[in-house]
Structure 1
Amino acid sequence: MIDRLRLGLIALMIAAFGCQPGTAVVTPPAPIPPAFLSGDSIAARILLDSLSLEARIAQIMMVPLYSRPGESESMESVTALVRDWRVGGVIAMQGDKATTRQNLHRLDSLALASAGVGLLTAMDAEWGSGMRLPDGIRFPKAMALGAIEDMDLIRAAGRVAGHELRSLGVDMDFAPVVDVNSNPDNPVIGNRSFGSDPELVGRCGLAWSEGLRTAGVMACAKHFPGHGDADLDSHLALPRILSDSSTLASTELPPFRHLIDGGVEAIMTAHLEVPALDTISGLPTSLSPMVIRDLLVDSMGFRGLVFTDALTMAGVADPVPPGTREVAALNAGNDVLLFPSNPEQV
């Protein structure tokens, strides 16, 4: 467990150093390592050693922040978590640009004062910050961009989206969505996907992530191992995907492999039941060591950060009680716990 805490904290430290170009191993072909791995891990180790176990655990939690004008309850709650518990991550939710920017700046300064390291901040900005902020930039959704098939245009859109996120104080975009739109009855992915062709989805997703990177923002591809063939919304229930392993390997996994090969900084795991990938644990894929450690890390060679999807979603909250699900997520190989239940108690 401490090894995973260490990786999470190192990433938080290195995120503040900015993105540097990654390098690829040409012979034999291998994934490009995420750019933050080129940072100063010794400094992160020293900082980690200075923190209590409780503070180390808090550093790998990412809690929601709502910045609606005139509402202060969320900011007060998150302020207490950062100041008193040293929570290390914040996901910016609904609000406006000015209030979001102000709140993130204040929280980052508070984190530096209390824990000695700035916050890791993120936003669901799949088509720009306008997905969460009404006065933010809104690009066409992924399916429209995929239909255009212009990688330079998608890369440029990612760059513009990244510059705006950077101006708000956001380090990471929880995008691109690289789920393949393989089930027309899917109630939650749909036009958030670049399309039904795995190769196209991978190229489009990589272009968006490259655009973000040029703006100094990290990308988080989602939702591993692929939410496109689900017929339920994992916010509301645990979807069951019955595809066999060969179908998963040819349809759902290639976009993730393409982004891993391109040096994507992070991947978000999905709350799914996929018997072809795990018939032993009985856990959602987001909590499955067979899916995360064995497949994503060992088999596919991913070396970046692994985020859970929100741990308050019914797809994981219904079958697994609070506290237990957070521990299971870490044991499975996740590095950051998004929307942990009762963060003060975990």
Structure 2
Amino acid sequence: MMTNAAPLAGIFGCDGVTLSADEMAFFRDINPLGLILFRRNCESRDQLKRLTDSFREAVGRADAPILIDEEGGRVQRLQPPEWVAHPAARELGVVAEKNLEHGVRAAYINAQLIAHELVQLGINVDAAPVLDLLVDGANEVIGSRAFSKDPELVAAMGRAACEGFLSAGVLPIIKHMPGHGRANADSHIALPTIDVDGDTLLATDMVPFRRLNDMPWAMTAHIVYPQLDAERPCTQSPVLIGHWLRERIGFGGVIITDCIHMNALEGTHAERAARSVAAGVDLVLNSHGPVSDMYEVARVLPVLDGVAKQRVERSLQMIQKGDELDVQMLMEEREELLKAGK
């Protein structure tokens, strides 16, 4: 449970391997719900644990969410040789396509191994797994980050990964709801569109999210779906957030935006944040400064309250002490499963 006054409904980043004096003052002043880490923040185990401890000291909450994108493959913030390399989702999906039981086991073990590393560093939320579909001809931004083309297989693998994270003490974030796989552009660079009707999406791209609608957190896609809302990307669309994500997908957990710094969105960062809050997201993700810009974003964010606060508190109660793991044995088992899938 949260122990302080209600925090601000935002997750913010920091610039380096330690918090600057200005960043410490910012976090103390605005009390955001959590922090997100990137490769620029990850130098060594001892350094990273000091960083996560200092953020929690600044906000005064020992359970404050600290996030990272640790998917494996090409999206891995904790880089060798300091940390272990983990396989991409597609490598695990190939195992599942040959033997579903083996693939599910590999996904579960893989998530446990990632979570075990994260917990040692004070990180308790992973922006994984990706539940987007692998789609021929789409932009390669998803690509090997997806388990498979098959929505039911993606759902099975995604659930195994989520259960692996939770068993080891880390909250998963399923992403990018309602589905990024068909996108015709990289939302880091430009605004993609997915011009497909709702019934088709419900029967394909949305299937994994519907199957995992009981998970604690989900991340939105910065994508326009013209047949669902022709004017606004999902992150800023009350129609997508309220009707499609909450009602049709049935997602009851915390909805967090993808990073508002991505070029798919227009306007100042504060304007992007305000539109997202108005659309109905629970949390806004702001990946980096300068601190003056972060203050501008913070000014438009609400204090976490009402149903959003309940969702966050319920999710944090799911963070339990992880299982004792025989890491070497699990790494060997994962390797054997990956070999069998080749």
TM-score scaled by structure 2? 0.77
CA distance, structure 2, for counterparts of residue 140 and residue 118 of structure 1 = 29
Counterpart secondary structure, 1:314: coil
The alpha-carbon deviation at position 89 of structure 1 amounts to 1.1
Other-structure match for 2:68: 123
- Structure 2 counterpart of 1:93: 38
Q: Which residue of 2 aligns with 1:283?
A: 232
Q: Which one of 271, 282, 304 corresponds to residue 253 of structure 2?
A: 304
Q: CA deviation at 1:250?
A: 1.5
Distance 1:128 1:91, change over 3 A: farther
- Residue by residue over 1:167-205, the C-alpha shift from the partner in whole angstroms, topping out at 9 and shown as x without a partner, is 111111000001001233312100000011111111111
1:156 deviates by: 1.1
Query: In the alignment, what sits opposite 2:117?
Result: 164
Aligned residue number for residue 9 of structure 2: 60
Match of 2:131 among 174, 178, 181: 178
Size of the aligned set, in residue pairs, is 282
| CA positional deviation for 1:247 | 1.9
CA distance in 1 between counterparts of 2:72 and 2:33 reads 26
Q: Distance in 1 between matches of 2:163 and 2:116?
A: 13
Do structure 1's residue 246 and structure 2's residue 191 form an aligned pair?
Answer: no
2:38 partner SS: strand
**Structure 1 position 268, deviation (Å):** 0.1
Task: State the SS of the aligned residue for 1:60.
Answer: strand
The answer to whether the 8 Å contact 1:92/1:122 transfers is yes
Contact 2:129-2:174 at 8 Å conserved across structures: yes
Quickly say closer, same or farther: Cα 1:61–1:128, change in 2 above 3 A: farther
Matches within 5 A, 1:13-162: 13=1, 47-48=4-5, 56=7, 59-68=8-17, 72=18, 75-94=20-39, 95-96=42-43, 97-112=45-60, 118-127=63-72, 131-134=76-79, 135-149=82-96, 150-162=103-115
Worse-superposed segment, 132-141 or 203-212: 132-141
Using the aligned pairs only, state the percent identity.
Answer: 31
Distance 1:196 1:245, change over 3 A: same
Greater relative contact order (CA < 8 Å, ≥ 6 in sequence): 2
Name the amino acid aligned to 1:301: G
* Runs of 5+ consecutive residues of structure 1 not aligned to the other structure: 1-12, 15-43
Q: Aligned Cα RMSD in Å?
A: 2.1
Equivalent residue letter for 1:308: T
1:201 pairs, out of 142, 154, 160, with: 154
Kindly state the Cα deviation for residue 66 of structure 1 after the two structures are TM-superposed.
Answer: 4.5
* 2:169 is equivalent to residue 221 of structure 1: no
Change in 2 beyond 3 A, CA 1:218/1:128: farther
Task: State the alpha-carbon separation in 2 of the partners of residues 129 and 216 from structure 1.
Answer: 24
Deviation at 1:125, TM superposition (A): 0.5
Amino acid at match of 1:182: V
Question: Are residue 270 (structure 1) and residue 215 (structure 2) matched?
Answer: no
Question: Matched residues in 1 for 2:84 and 2:216: separation?
Answer: 23
In 2: Cα distance, 1:321 partner to 1:84 partner: 22
AA at the equivalent of 2:232? L
2:275 to 314, 328, 346: 328
Deviation readout 1:134-165 (Å, 9 max, x if unpaired):
22222110000001012112101111111111
Question: Hey, what's the Cα distance between the residues in 2 that align with 1:129 and 1:77?
Answer: 32
